[in-house]
């Protein structure tokens, strides 16, 4: 007889002690927890979460890392996953399974110019797959011979593995983890507020895009195989490129036969008011990576989606001893789980049926409008964003744009949390520029909840500055 245990039961103090004694948290300096208690989240419904002490918060971060797209407590996702796991929970991704097939079909409906889907576990892994595709193609394809290098943009973030860190433009995130992988080449960011070329939009020649060609030529165009960007830079400060940027980038990539990789890990699935972040611009990526909102974080799932021309490079005769290893020799153990694809199918259905992409657009415009009201404060340097993905850059001097200190940001965020609102911020990412507060609430947010968020930010600003 099967023994059942209620894993939802717990003793509060036992869990508080266990958190301190047993867990190594992500991105946290643990010294501070010797004298204070770490927040433990135990429950969520809609946009509201509750901690182990019973305190409730309005979550403006979709789970802290912008990924719970349809909100907490969706019974239909849990029920679908439960039914699938009872029938078939796992078989290695070298074989097929029904949820994977169905969700791949759904993804390609959303990406009609792309043709094949490779599933894995996280955004870092999705990007690693893209890099491995570029690298292997540079060995097995005569027309791509030697094109192994991958270009990435300053302030963009593509993952936490050594490979994806090698392609991330965030100095503090990378500090102490080197040496990094050879063959990754950085180019300047595209933030108009802090233009790396000291230009003003409207009077410039979009140097942030055009100068990429100079770097390509310096490196050797015959060595560059891929170029990766976030449609809107996320953890780097919510940086939205100007409309001319990506068409110029596309033209340069096409000129030198460089595969354009778009990292939709954060921006995909409605976050920016369109289903995909790159839909705000006129360009056509060769490879698209995604995670986070893919299954609304009810399960862990990522995907790397490619055009047929890329997939075809790996179609080689296994009977030919010279080409028998020229297939994509990669594996992701949990890419064979059925529950994540099932959760993704139901989450995507909810997004479509409840028209949440449109809600993201409409509520995003309202959120940005409300946040622009805060520009009256001396500490608010710039408000920027797209859809339900917005940021405030805080400064000590509007004229010089001197950023606030990390200590000031920590105080500000603490004062916001005291209003029972959770927002995000750039944290241990840049030297001297960890000064952006960000908002990425679940796509189901209402005007009233936005008003609550903005009122809390106002209170936090006035208490801090």
pLDDT of residue 27: 85
Give tens-digit pLDDT for 291-340: 999 999 999 999 999 999 999 999 988 899 999 999 999 999 999 999 99
Give tens-digit pLDDT for 275-293: 999 999 999 999 999 999 9
Q: Would the pLDDT of 251 be above 70?
A: yes
Q: Are 256 and 224 in contact (CB under 8 A)?
A: yes
- Kindly indicate the confidence band of residue 1, based on its pLDDT and cuts at 50, 70 and 90: low
Q: Are 173 and 428 in contact (CB under 8 A)?
A: yes
Task: For residue 389, give the nearest of 415, 371, 412, 411 by alpha carbon.
Answer: 371
- Kindly indicate the confidence band of residue 31, based on its pLDDT and cuts at 50, 70 and 90: confident
The full length of the chain comes to 465
What is the Cα Rg of the chain in Å? Answer: 23
Say if residue 230 is exposed, middle or buried (CB neighbours under 10 Å; 0-12, 13-18, 19+): buried
pLDDT of residue 22: 94
How much of the chain exceeds pLDDT 70, in percent? Answer: 100
Helix H or strand E segment including 414: helix 406-417
- Kindly indicate the confidence band of residue 156, based on its pLDDT and cuts at 50, 70 and 90: very high
Average pLDDT of span 13-34? 90
Q: Would the pLDDT of 99 be above 80?
A: yes
pLDDT of residue 428: 86
Q: Would the pLDDT of 125 be above 70?
A: yes
- Kindly indicate the confidence band of residue 32, based on its pLDDT and cuts at 50, 70 and 90: confident
Q: Are 310 and 286 in contact (CB under 8 A)?
A: yes
- Kindly indicate the confidence band of residue 34, based on its pLDDT and cuts at 50, 70 and 90: confident
pLDDT of residue 35: 83
Q: Would the pLDDT of 2 be above 80?
A: no
Rounded distance between C-alpha atoms, residue 290 and residue 308, angstroms? 18
Average pLDDT of span 248-270? 98
- Kindly indicate the confidence band of residue 420, based on its pLDDT and cuts at 50, 70 and 90: very high
Average pLDDT, the chain: 96
Q: Would the pLDDT of 385 be above 80?
A: yes
Q: Are 365 and 208 in contact (CB under 8 A)?
A: no
| Predicted structure pTM score | 0.96
Task: For residue 264, give the nearest of 234, 293, 294, 230 by alpha carbon.
Answer: 230
Q: Are 122 and 314 in contact (CB under 8 A)?
A: no
- Kindly indicate the confidence band of residue 30, based on its pLDDT and cuts at 50, 70 and 90: confident
Say if residue 178 is exposed, middle or buried (CB neighbours under 10 Å; 0-12, 13-18, 19+): exposed
pLDDT of residue 29: 86
Give tens-digit pLDDT for 200-236: 999 999 999 999 999 999 999 999 999 999 999 999 9
Helix H or strand E segment including 463: helix 447-464
Helix H or strand E segment including 436: strand 436-439
Rounded distance between C-alpha atoms, residue 459 and residue 348, angstroms? 36
Q: Would the pLDDT of 366 be above 80?
A: yes
């Amino acid at each position: 007889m099967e023994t059942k245990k209620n894993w939802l039961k717990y003793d509060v103090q036992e869990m508080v002690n266990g958190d301190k004694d047993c867990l190594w948290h992500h991105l946290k300096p643990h010294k501070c927890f010797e004298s204070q208690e770490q927040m433990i989240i135990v429950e969520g419904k809609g946009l509201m979460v509750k901690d182990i002490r019973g305190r409730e918060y309005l979550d403006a971060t979709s789970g802290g890392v912008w990924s719970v797209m349809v909100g907490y407590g969706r019974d239909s996702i849990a029920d679908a996953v439960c039914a699938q796991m009872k029938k078939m929970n796992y078989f290695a991704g070298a074989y097929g399974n029904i949820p994977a097939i169905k969700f791949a079909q759904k993804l390609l409906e959303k990406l009609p110019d792309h043709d094949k889907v490779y599933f894995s576990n996280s955004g870092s892994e999705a990007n690693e797959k893209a890099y491995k595709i570029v690298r292997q193609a540079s060995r097995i394809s005569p027309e791509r011979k030697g094109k192994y290098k991958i270009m990435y943009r300053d302030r963009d973030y593509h993952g936490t593995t050594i490979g994806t860190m090698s392609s991330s433009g965030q100095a503090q995130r990378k500090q102490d983890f080197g040496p990094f992988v050879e063959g990754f080449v950085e180019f300047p960011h595209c933030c108009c507020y802090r233009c790396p070329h000291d230009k003003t939009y409207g009077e410039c020649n979009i140097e942030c895009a055009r100068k990429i060609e100079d770097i390509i030529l310096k490196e050797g165009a015959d060595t560059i195989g891929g170029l990766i960007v976030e449609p809107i830079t996320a953890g780097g400060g919510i940086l939205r490129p100007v409309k001319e940027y990506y068409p110029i980038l596309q033209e340069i990539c096409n000129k030198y036969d460089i595969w354009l990789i778009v990292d939709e890990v954060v921006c995909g699935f409605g976050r920016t008011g369109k289903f995909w972040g790159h839909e705000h611009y006129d360009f056509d990526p060769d490879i698209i990576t995604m995670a986070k909102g893919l299954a609304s974080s009810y399960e862990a799932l990522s995907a790397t989606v490619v055009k047929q021309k890329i997939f075809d490079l790996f179609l080689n005769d296994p009977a030919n001893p010279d080409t028998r290893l020229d297939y994509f020799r990669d594996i992701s153990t949990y890419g064979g789980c059925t529950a994540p694809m099932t959760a993704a199918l139901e989450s995507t259905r909810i997004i479509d049926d409840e028209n949440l992409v449109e809600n993201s657009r409409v509520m995003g415009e309202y959120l940005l409008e409300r946040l622009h009201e805060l520009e009256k404060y001396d500490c608010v340097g710039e408000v920027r964003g797209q859809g339900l993905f917005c940021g405030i850059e805080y400064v000590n001097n509007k004229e010089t744009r001197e950023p606030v200190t990390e200590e000031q940001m920590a105080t500000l965020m603490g004062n916001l949390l005291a209003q029972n609102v959770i927002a995000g911020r750039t944290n241990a990412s840049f030297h001297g520029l960890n000064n952006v507060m960000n908002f990425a609430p679940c796509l189901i947010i209402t005007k009233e909840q936005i008003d609550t968020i903005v009122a809390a930010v106002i209170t936090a600003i006035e208490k801090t500055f």
